[in-house]
Amino acid sequence: MTIPAAWYLIVSALLFGIGATGVLVRRNALVMFMCIELMLNAANLALVTFARVLHDVGGQATVFFVLVVAAAEVTVGLGIVVAIFRKRHSAIVDDLHELQG
């Protein structure tokens, strides 16, 4: 309650950075997905922080919706990974590079 917003925002930024690094560096599709979840959570943390300091429950409502969308996204995303894995028997994204110039 008395923690300055700045501290939480820094944590949020760092979490976002780590998640971004993970997306760029890891080659397993599922791990990449998890890193995306990290980024989403960083955003959620920032939103809740702002809701607290600005006394606006809109921030919390936004987090609520982000949660719902993340769930839907994971559902569909993992469905796609499963469908691709059935053909290729590999979850490494680097093996999918036919659409090239």
Partner 1 sequence: MTGVLATARTVPDVLVFIASAAIILGGAVGVVASKNPVHSALNLIATLIGIALAFVEQQANFLAAVQIIVYAGAIVILFLFVIMFLGVDRNESIRLEPLSGQRPLAVGAVAVVTGGLIALMAAGGWYSGATSVIAPTDPSNDVGALGKVIFTSYLFAFEATALLLIIAVVGAVLLARRPPASLDAVPRADEHAVAAGEELT
Partner 2 sequence: MVYAAPWMLACALGGFVVLVAFGRRLGEPVAGWVATAAIAAAFVVAVVTWIGLLGHHNREITETLFDWLPIGSYQVKVALLIDPLSVTMCLFVTGVSALIHLYSIAYMHKERDFTKFFVYLNLFVFSMLLLVLADNLLLTFVGWEGVGVCSYWLVAFYFDRDSAASAGKKAFLYNRIGDVGMLVAMFVLFTHLHTLTYLGIAAGASTLTGTQVTLVAIALLFAAAGKSAQIPLFNWLPDAMEGPTPVSALIHAATMVTAGVYLLCRMSHLLVLTSSGRATIAVVGAATAFVAATIATAQSDIKKVLAFSTVSQIGFMVLAVGSGAYAAAIFLMVAHAFFKGLLFLGAGSVIHGLDGEQELSRMGGLRTVMAWTFATFVIGWLAIAGVPPFSGFFAKGDVLKGAWAYSKPLWAIGLVAALLTAYYMTRLFVLAFTGDPRFLKAVGGRPALATPHESPWVMRLPLVVLAACAALAGILGPALDRFLSPVFASTHLAPLSSASSDSLIAIDGVVAVVGLAIAWWLWRGRVQRPALTPQFLARAWYWDDAYDAVLGRPAERVARASAEVVDPLVIDGAVLGVATLARRAARQLRGLQNGYVRSYALLFAIGTALLLAYLLARTF
Instruction: Report the site for partner 1 in 43-72 (rule: CB under 8 A).
Output: 44-45, 48-58, 60-61, 63-65, 67-72
Element spanning 63, H or E:
helix 58-88
30 scored as a contact of partner 1 (CB under 8 A): yes
Q: Is 27 left (phi over 0), alpha (psi -120 to 50) or beta?
A: alpha
Instruction: Report the site for partner 2 in 14-43 (rule: CB under 8 A).
Output: 20, 23-24, 27
Choose among partner 1, partner 2, none what residue 36 binds, the Cβ cut-off being 5 to 8 Å by kind: none
SS3 55: coil
SS3 92: strand
Choose among partner 2, partner 1, none what residue 96 binds, the Cβ cut-off being 5 to 8 Å by kind: partner 2
Structure-block tokens of residue 28: 């397993």
93 scored as a contact of partner 2 (CB under 8 A): yes
